[in-house]
């Protein structure tokens, strides 16, 4: 099972995701509220997988993907997107994110994405 860092500015989203992941026996090693924290926590915690929200204050998910991949080219990042963010998802994938999940989260899709990036 994986050690996962959850990044989202909405606490409700972090709780929802944490519940889904814990139910599947994954370990949530940290929760960050913006891209800046995501980069700092990533370096500190070295999680197996990061779930990264796109729209956040201070530093967006897009900027955070670039910053994290620059520090660790092997980082496994899954973007969390909302409706209408296809263009940003494509940019994030180009920047090195491996997959994306769409809000509201579908439990099986979340678990499937985690399994896939771990392979």
**CB of 73 or CB of 84, closer to Mg ion:** 84
Cα–Cα distance list, 19 to 36, 63, 110, 115 (Å): 24, 26, 11, 16
Neighbours of 40 (CB within 10 A): 14
Give the residue, chosen from 2, 4, 9, 60, that forms a contact with Mg ion under the rule CB under 5 A.
Answer: 9
The nearest distance, CB 1 to Mg ion, in angstroms, is 26
Site for Mg ion in 39-98 (CB under 5 A): 53, 55-56
Nearer to Mg ion, 48 or 53 (CB): 53
- Residue in the block written with tokens 């992941």: 21
Q: Is 37 in the site for Mg ion (CB under 5 A)?
A: no
31 binds Mg ion (CB under 5 A): no
Residues that bind Mg ion (CB under 5 A): 9, 53, 55-56
């Amino acid at each position: 099972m994986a050690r996962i860092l959850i990044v989202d500015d909405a606490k409700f989203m972090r709780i929802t995701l944490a519940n889904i992941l814990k139910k599947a026996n994954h370990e949530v090693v940290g929760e960050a509220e913006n891209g800046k924290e995501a980069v700092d926590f990533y370096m500190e915690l070295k999680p197996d997988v990061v779930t990264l929200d796109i729209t956040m204050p201070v530093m967006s998910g897009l900027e955070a993907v670039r910053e994290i991949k620059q520090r660790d080219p092997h980082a496994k990042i899954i973007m969390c997107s909302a409706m209408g963010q296809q263009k940003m998802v494509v940019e994030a994938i180009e920047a090195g994110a491996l997959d994306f999940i769409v809000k509201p989260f579908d439990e099986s899709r979340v678990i499937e994405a985690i399994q896939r990036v771990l392979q």
